[in-house]
Amino acid sequence: MKKLRARLMSITAVYPLVLTLVGMVLPNPMGVAAISRNEQDEIITKICSLLESNYVLPEIGERVSTHLLASHERGEYSELSAVREFAARLDADLTEWSNDKHLGIVYDPDWVKQIKEQKEEDAYLTEEMVAEERARNFGFKRMEILDGNVGYLDLRIFFHPKYAGATAVAGMNFLSACDAVIIDLKNNGGGWGHMVAFLCSYFLDNEEVVHLNSVYSRPEDRHYQSWTSPYVPGRIMADIPLYILTSKSTFSAAEEFCYNLKYLERATIVGERTRGGAHPISSVVLDDNLILILPEWTSIHPVTNTNWEGVGVEPDFEVAAVDAFNVAYLNALEKLRGSAQGEEKRVSYQWYIDGFKARLSPFAVDAAVLESYVGKYGSLSIHLEDAMLFYQRGDRALLRMIPMSETLFLVDEQSDVRIRFKKQKGRISGLTAMYIDGNKTEYVREDG
């Protein structure tokens, strides 16, 4: 199911979900491993017919169909007697000719069987897939409250709220008291538009429902619309700074989430331009082994009247994906500092800004200077291991110290305290523990 999950991660906002069965599915017509020339003829004929009648962009569907038929007639697939090889070649060719990252072929007899046994409205949601995603917490990989009361969510898939809704509500409630939120979609390859709309609803004012996106179905010649919900369980976070992290792997429904909130001027996108897939798909069972992933829909945003197909979502801050979190977090802290009410709040945000910058780029302190700080200071002790200082209170765990200057250090895992060493008559005489609230405690060195 891992390869199946990888393909399904490309599903974007589909309203409703679609499953198409083509022709009469005969019991295991191609066998597990081999495919004949006649069977290739049947498969390619079906694919070409579907491309011409259902592919979302008629001119591209006809062009790809023409390429496919010509390649087949030239015998380019005739030597591919193994079903896997035939499917892999078709998949590569369809993607190349269409430049559509959603279009392709999947070889997966197990998935075919599951789809045939599934209800039409749950065609994408096999029991196995739901079980796999439940074991992954439905994509809610990691959540954290960072210094400065900035929430962080690492979300790996927009899974259908029919199954993931309770997890999503718990996640949003976890973030609900934050002053800013960062949603990391760098490793999110898509999912269901229903979850996109559900999560968007937590970050937009619900006094009036908001039109998020529309999709046009070519087979039905019909438009479907996605709107925010007038009610979601928990607190609406419509007024706090919102950042979304992206990479070249961010795709499909994850791109819709970015695109919706970017053009509603609700979120700041930080990272790399996304992959560029805006054509929702149908899964077309061709026989007992092969499935055609066919884009039959196109997304239309109500603000831009277009979408991100082929071009991706352009970030507001374009940086390498590896740097996206750092840029977003610092920007969030600086924005919160700028809007803070009262000097005490501004000072605390500056404290966190200075500390995070020190973590990113620690001050270089000479080894001999670090050695001079080692010793006992009342209930505190300073240790040196592997050219790094460590702070210890009593017999508690050692905590790494990160230099902000030659004499000033922050204490890892204790962001509200910093240590400044004092020198008298050429020797280290003590240290001052400084706290974020302005309080200080002096400690005299007892040795050395």
Domain assignments of the chain as residue spans, ordered by start: 2-117, 120-280+296-335, 367-444
6 pLDDT higher than 60: no
5 pLDDT higher than 70: no
Q: How many Cβ atoms sit within 10 Å of the Cβ of residue 309?
A: 21
d(CA 31, CA 52): 28
104 pLDDT higher than 50: yes
pLDDT of residue 1: 37
Say whether the peptide bond before residue 16 is cis (omega within 30 degrees of 0).
yes
Please give the helix or strand (H or E) that residue 51 lies within, else none: helix 37-54
Please give the helix or strand (H or E) that residue 150 lies within, else none: strand 150-155
Structure tokens, 158: 């927009």
17 pLDDT higher than 70: no
Q: What is the mean pLDDT of residues 366-372?
A: 96
27 pLDDT higher than 50: no
Confidence of residue 10 (pLDDT cuts 50, 70, 90): very low
Average pLDDT, the chain: 90
Q: What is the mean pLDDT of residues 364-389?
A: 95
Q: What percent of the chain stands above pLDDT 70?
A: 91
Structure tokens, 212: 């998020």
Encoded amino acid at 89, one letter: R
24 pLDDT higher than 80: no
Encoded amino acid at 401, one letter: M
Beta strands at 408-411 and 399-403: parallel, antiparallel or unpaired? antiparallel
Confidence of residue 13 (pLDDT cuts 50, 70, 90): very low
pLDDT of residue 202: 98
d(CA 154, CA 381): 37
pLDDT of residue 249: 97
Q: What is the mean pLDDT of residues 306-316?
A: 95
pLDDT of residue 15: 43
d(CA 36, CA 27): 16
Higher pLDDT, 185 or 12: 185
400 pLDDT higher than 60: yes
pLDDT of residue 111: 85
Cβ neighbours of residue 342 closer than 8 Å, sequence gap 6 or more: none
123 pLDDT higher than 80: no
Confidence of residue 116 (pLDDT cuts 50, 70, 90): confident
361 pLDDT higher than 90: yes
282 pLDDT higher than 80: yes
pLDDT of residue 425: 85
- Dihedral angle sign, alpha carbons of residues 275, 276, 280, 281: negative
Burial class (CB in 10 A: 0-12, 13-18, 19+), 89: middle
Q: What is the mean pLDDT of residues 397-422?
A: 95
Q: What is the mean pLDDT of residues 199-206?
A: 96
350 pLDDT higher than 90: yes
Confidence of residue 344 (pLDDT cuts 50, 70, 90): very high
Higher pLDDT, 141 or 125: 141
d(CA 169, CA 155): 13
Please give the helix or strand (H or E) that residue 292 lies within, else none: strand 290-295
Look up the pTM and report it: 0.86
Q: What's the fold here for domain 120-280+296-335? A: 2-enoyl-CoA Hydratase; Chain A, domain 1 (3.90.226)
9 pLDDT higher than 50: no
- SS3 per residue for 247-310: CCCCCCHHHHHHHHHHHCCCCEEEECCCCCCCCCEEEEECCCCEEEEEECEEEECCCCCCCCCC
Burial class (CB in 10 A: 0-12, 13-18, 19+), 376: middle
Q: How many Cβ atoms sit within 10 Å of the Cβ of residue 22?
A: 15
pLDDT of residue 34: 85
Q: ∠388-393-396 over CA atoms, to 5°?
A: 90
Cβ neighbours of residue 291 closer than 8 Å, sequence gap 6 or more: 105, 106, 108, 111, 112, 115, 283, 284, 285
Q: What is the mean pLDDT of residues 154-158?
A: 98
